[in-house]
Structure 1
Amino acid sequence: MGEAAMDSIAWPPAWPRVLDAEFGAPPAGDYRARPEDFQVAEVLDFAPEGEGEHLWLHIEKRDLTTAMAVRELARLCEVSPRDVGYSGMKDRVAVTRQWLSVQLPGREAPAGLTEALAERGVRVLSEARHPRKLKRGVHRANRFRLRLSGAALEDPALEARWQRLVAQGVANYFGPQRFGPDGRNLLRARSLLARGWRKRDDRDGMLLSAARSFLFNEGLAERVRDGSWNRLLPGEVAILDGTASQFTLVAPDAELEARAARLDLHPSGVLWGVGRSVAEGEARALEARLAERYPSLCDGLERAGVRLGRRALRLRLGEPRLTRGEGELWLAFSLPRGAFATAVLRELIAHPTL
């Protein structure tokens, strides 16, 4: 798909699934009939120190976006939303647990804050003080517990699909929620980048993120189609599982290929921006094809000054578990920050939002 086709594309795009070649397209299913069917818990590697000018709250929210919870906390504490910190954005139609921080130098939290938040769907699980604001992206992972329903539960290959994902990993697509309803964030991003990105038009960088995520998904889709999404190509930039460590492989040897098969190493794709890619050979040629297909997106991101980055093409499922009950099925697993549970679900069920 080229840039001219974006205006009329059915959303989400038909980015290929990994398991279709072996099992065929998955049957229809549902995964969020009610908020309790989609449970997420944010995992931090540290705890608040117990003192400082920032009050940290471990919350559970239901049927609210993170932005809604942030605004409500800011209103009740009579501070600007900019004084409220969070690490990750969590889904609305879900029951999610995460940390928020609010800057309250020299004063206590307002009386009745916990009760007032509870009335608005935010339950405070614990609280503690900390010297610093909670920053974006500092959590290590998210734990998911998801209930599936529908015809997919009768699929005799469902457990085999799941076991294949556990064994070989999951294609690390950005989820459709990154692009907004019907991909409108991407269309807005293309328009903004064409005339020149300005922060006042995209204060939280949502549109920049949509453009970069789309380009990444397009590159990943090409590698799913040619079967190289889980293999190390000559010139590949490999990412060590569970870390940000990366290195370029001129010619992968048998040992490195074995590590990739064990999910210790993952091939990576480019997150477009300013800077020279360290990919070489075949991997670099894939990136060049992206620039040829989407020149205005790539050029616009570079003019906007966003820094080039990389993202693993594959995910390892942490602590995977499948449990069947009467007329229902629960999946449990953890994913590193920035990964989407929808990338897992689209391999198991067919749903309009996947």
Structure 2
Amino acid sequence: MRKLFHLTHSPIECYFRPSVRDFVVREIPLYEANGAGEHLLVLVRKKDLSTFEMVEILSNVLGVRSAQIGYAGLKDKHATTYQYLSIPRSFESKLSACGEVLEKRGIKVLECRAHTNKLRVGHLKGNSFFVRLKKLTPIQAQKAINALEILKASGFANYFGDQRFGRDGQNYHEGEKILENLRTMRDKKIARFLLSAYQSHLFNLWLLERMRLNAMIESCSPKELMSHIKNYGALDSVLRDEGVVRELRAQKQFFKLLHGDVAVHYPYGRAFVIDDVSAESARFAQCQIAPSGALCGKKLISAQGVALEIERAFVDSRLREAGSRRYAWVWVQDVAYTYKPEVAQMEITFSLPKGSYATVFLEALLNKPFG
């Protein structure tokens, strides 16, 4: 799926391929180990391994069931990544004894402390990143710097990254087959992963639709918009109202809020349905709230009114996962960069909230598909 972003500069030409040298990810923990309990909170560095591959290696080397190994999030394979794991404390001596074996397999144990509970998915604040862009001319580097400064203030669309969908991009198809009883999976963890890929695919389609709508509102006059809007159901009549279109165009941010959108306090907090668009638009511009899209499931807080007219096309009621809302828009933090003209390389560091993809941020920055 070709993503649509809000910056309109011509694509920035450079070379970036994730590798252990040019792509580094560091998990920002939600809490520190408390020094007591039946689990170990372990900080590891892995290279050229997916989180699933790392868990399998630890399971085989330590003799611990993979289900007993906890992690807060999935980390990129083609990178050097630092992340936290939890294992039962009864394996502490085995972990200490197997350090060399693990290091030969690409896993280095950096810290190990007792903790009271198993690490669960989502138990992190976010991630910090280092990327190195190569073959970047001075002119292209200046374009990148200008775009970085804009993105620091504006934020960007929070798509799921392509790696969410597997090497061939087809994981979501497999998830849909499971829903249709066309495929069965013995491994429940893999089955849940494929189903969540299908959730993610639906979210990306919804976000792309909203970004197209935002671009039209941003670039078209009310009269031009009337002639372009088609197949939006209840939105047809709304967006043919010049007064409403002017109100939408008056919103300072690119992503236009609609009545009935579900917003979430940022960077974390409760979800609520937007009633006063003008007031919430002001809070959105101040990074206090952000709109959200559906990760459909049985506990989903649904949009209402006009916003629901778009959302319902991307909700599959067959999904019996928990269901939640995902930020449709996020802000990058701690941005720093250094350009080295003698080697035509730029090094960029930044941090993102949990669940956001560095590769998606790079796509927004470069204004072209990642890869």
Figure out how many residues of one structure are paired with residues of the other and give that number. Answer: 329
Counterpart position of 2:3 = 15
1:227-242 equivalence runs, <5 A = 227=214, 230-242=255-267
Say if 2:356 is the partner of 1:339: yes
Say if 2:345 is the partner of 1:328: yes
Name which of 33, 36, 47 aligns with 1:62: 47
Name which of 20, 33, 46 aligns with 2:31: 46
Q: Is the 8 A contact 1:152 1:158 kept in 2?
A: no
Name which of 293, 298, 301 aligns with 1:274: 298
Does the C-alpha gap of structure 1 residues 61 and 267 become closer, same or farther in structure 2, counting only changes over 3 Å? same
Letter in 2 for 1:162: L
Q: Is the 8 A contact 2:130 2:349 kept in 1?
A: yes
**d(CA) in 2 for partners of 1:96, 1:267:** 30
**d(CA) in 1 for partners of 2:86, 2:313:** 43
TM-score of the pair, normalised by structure 1:
0.85
What are the Cα deviations for residues 310-330 of structure 1, in whole angstroms up to 9, with x where unaligned?
111101112122221232111
1:1-354 equivalence runs, <5 A = 13-19=1-7, 22-24=8-10, 26-32=11-17, 34-105=19-90, 108-110=93-95, 112-151=97-136, 154-155=139-140, 156-195=142-181, 200=186, 202-204=188-190, 205-227=192-214, 230-253=255-278, 255-275=279-299, 277-291=301-315, 298-301=316-319, 305-326=320-341, 327-349=344-366, 353=370
Deviates more, 1:263-272 or 1:49-58: 49-58
Does the C-alpha gap of structure 1 residues 59 and 275 become closer, same or farther in structure 2, counting only changes over 3 Å? closer
CA deviation after TM superposition for structure 1 residue 33, in Å:
5.3
Letter in 2 for 1:65: S
Deviates more, 1:201-210 or 1:239-248: 201-210
CA deviation after TM superposition for structure 1 residue 29, in Å:
2.8
Q: Is the 8 A contact 1:27 1:152 kept in 2?
A: no
**Structure 1 unaligned runs (5+)?**
1-12, 292-297
Does the C-alpha gap of structure 1 residues 161 and 111 become closer, same or farther in structure 2, counting only changes over 3 Å? closer
**Structure 2 unaligned runs (5+)?**
216-253
What is the percent sequence identity of the aligned residues?
32
Counterpart position of 1:294 = none
**d(CA) in 2 for partners of 1:89, 1:185:** 15
**d(CA) in 1 for partners of 2:15, 2:214:** 28
CA deviation after TM superposition for structure 1 residue 104, in Å:
3.7
Letter in 2 for 1:312: Y
Superposition RMSD in Å: 2.3
CA deviation after TM superposition for structure 1 residue 338, in Å:
1.0
Q: Is the 8 A contact 1:85 1:100 kept in 2?
A: yes
